[in-house]
Structure 1
Amino acid sequence: MVKETKLYDLLGVAPTASEAEIKKGYRKMALKYHPDKAGDDPKAADKFKQVSEAYEILSDSNKRAVYDQFGLEYVLHGAPPPPEDGGGGGAGGFPGAGAGGFPGGFQSFSAGGPGGARTFKFTSNGGNPFGGGGGGGFTPTDPMNVFSSGGGGSPFGGMGGMPGGMPGGMPGMSDGYRSSSPTRETPASVYTVKLPLTLEELYSGATKKMKIRRRRTHGQEEKVLQITIKPGWKAGTKITFPGEGDLQPDGRSQDVVFVLDEKKHPVFTRDGNDLKMDLELTLKEALLGFSKIVGTLDGKKIKIEYKQPVQPGLVIKYPGHGMPISKEPGKRGDLSIVVKVTLPTSLTASQKAELEKIL
C-alpha cells in the first residue's frame, strides 16, 4: 500500500498502474496542460510542470519505490527513513543505497525556492530537483524538452502521425524528440537571449557583462559572461557561449546564445552599413538658403550650407560617415541627410499677396 497518491492523481492513474499506463497518463495530461494547447489558462503552465515532475518520479522505478513507501515530502526533502526500516543498505538504510541513502545512488536533494537572476535566468523554478545527480530532468524554459527526458524514451514514441508521434501536429516537435538517448547528430540544447544595444554601441563597439544563474550537478550557481561587441556588428548577430547554460538530462550543458538587438535611435536610422538622418528646414530656409551644423554618430560636426533654394527630399550624401564595416576594418558606410521642409499651416491675406507677387 502506498503512503500517498498525489503524483498518481496528477497523471490520472492508479497506484498499481504499470509503466505503460503511467506513460499513457502522462502523455494525456501533458497534452492537456501544454502551453501550446491550453490557450490562455493562467494555471496551465504550473499544472504542466507538476505533471512533468510527477512523471519524472513515477517513470523511474527507484524514485517511485521511495515515493510509494515514504511519500513526496521524503523525496523532496530527504527526511530520514522511518525507524522500523533498519535495514541492510547504505547511508539511508535502503538496500543498495548510494551516497544520499536512496536506492541505486538516487541522491537526496532540496526543492529550493525560485532563484531570480539579476539579468535573466535559465530555469523557471530556481532549482529543479530532477535535473542533477541521477539523470532524468527537464528544462522548464523549453517545455518541449520534457517529451524527450522521461526515462525510457519519449512518451510520444510509436503513436504514428506527425514526426513527434501525435496526429495533427504539435508546434516545436520533430524527430529529435523521439528518443531521450543523445546521438551524434543531436545538437546541444540552446538558450537564446536578446541583447539590446544602442546604435552608438554598435558603432563604437562595447563590452557587456551578463550575470547568469544556471543549474549544475552541485546545484544552482552564478557566473558572469563577458560579451565583446565589435564595431559595425548588426542586429541579429549571434554570440555563442558553448556549454555555459543549464546541465541537461543527457549530461551535456546548454549553449548560451546572445542575439544582438538594435534600440531605436532618436536621430539616425541604419540601413546595412549606411546611416540616414532627416534635416528639418522652414519654408524660409528652403527658399532663401540656410547654414546648419549637424552632429554625426561619432560626435563629429558637419556644416551644411546652401545659398539657393533647395527642394524637399533632397539627399545630401557624405561618404565614409556611416557605420564601420566589420568585415573591412577602417572602412565605413555613407551618411545620407534628407531635407524635410516644414510648410506653414496658414497664411494671412497680406502674406498671400506678397507670395503671389514673388512666385
Structure 2
Amino acid sequence: MGKNYYAILGIQKDASEDEIKKAYRKQALKWHPDRNIDNKEEADKKFKELSEAYEVLSDSNKKTIYDQYGEEGLKQGAMPEGAGGMPGGFGGFPGGTFKFSTSGGAGGFHPTNANDIFSAFFGGKSPFDMEDQGSSFGGMGGMPGGFSSMPGGFGGFSSMNNMRGSSGGFGGQQFGGQEENKTVTRKLPIDLEDLYKGVTKRLKVTRKRNNTPEEKVLTIQVKPGWKAGTKIKFNGEGDELYNGQSQDIEFVIEEKPHKRFKRDGDKLKTSIEVSLTEALTGFQRNIETLDGRNLLVKGGEGTSVVRPGQEIVVKNEGMPNSKSGTKGDLIIECKVKFPYSLPVEDKNEIKRVLGNRL
C-alpha cells in the first residue's frame, strides 16, 4: 500500500491550501534533522516524508493524480482522469488507461530534495530561526502550484491509449519530452502467469512527428521466463527531436506480486498449511500451477512425518529459463498448524499411542 500523504501531514482529505501549509510548517519544524540530533535517523525519515507529502498536496495537479491513483500512479506517471479527452482509470485494470508524461526526467513524480523544499518555504531561514507555531509561511509566499516548476516536478501531459493483447486495458503511455532525453524509459508491469507462459503485449503510443501527434502500435513478445529488469528497446519510435532524430523508447519489465507464488530466479516458492494430524499421518494437496494445471503434492507418506517448515521440492515445476528453456524447481513450505488446546483425555490418548517415541 502506498503512502498516505494526508496522514503524514495530519490533515483531512478536504483540507484547504492554508491548512496544508500550516500542517507542513508545524511538522517540518518539529522534525527537522538539525533539531533532532539525538534522534537524527528517525527525524530524517519523517522530514523527507513530510516534504514529499507537502510537495504533492500543495500542487493541485499532483494532488488530483494522487487522489485518483495513489502514490504508485503518481510516481509512475499517471495523468488525471479524463485528461486529454480520454477515459480515466488505472493501468492494469479492465478498460482502464494509464497515461504518462516524460517531461522533467524519466517520467512520473520524483520528490524534490527535502531541504530545498524547506528552504523555499521558509525563505532560506534556519530551522532555529523559526517558531513552531504561527501562520507565517516565510519565503513560500504566494508561490502557485507548489513545486511543479522545481527539479523533479511532474511536467506536462499528452494523451494516448494502450492495448493489452487483443483486448483489455493495460493502460496508455505517452512518450516524448525534452531534446536531451534521447531514450525514454517506462516500466511495464507483467503478471507472473504471463512471465511463466509468455504473452504478446501491444501498446499504442502517441508521438510527435513534424510537430504533429501520431499513433503507433508497438508489439512486445514477452518470452516465458523473462525476469524483472529485462529491457525492450524500440529505436527511433518516440518523439522527433529538434535535431531531426527521434527518441528511443525502452520498456523495463516489472514483475507484479502474486498472491500464492514468489519467484526466486528460476525457482517458484509457495506454502501450504498442514494440520498436526496430517503432519503425523500424511496428507495430499492439489496445487494449481501458473498455467492452470492441478499438481498433486503428497507429504508424510509411509513412516515419515512432516516437520514444521519442511520443504517439498517438485522438480521442473518452477519458472522456465528464457535462454535454456528448462524449468526450475517448485519449493513448497509446510506450515504445521498446532492446536491451541486439547482435552485432557485426548492428551492421555496421545501419550498412550506415542509413548516415548516422540
TM-score, normalisation: structure 2: 0.50
TM-score, normalisation: structure 1: 0.50
Larger Rg: 1
Which structure's residues are more often helix, by fraction? Answer: 2
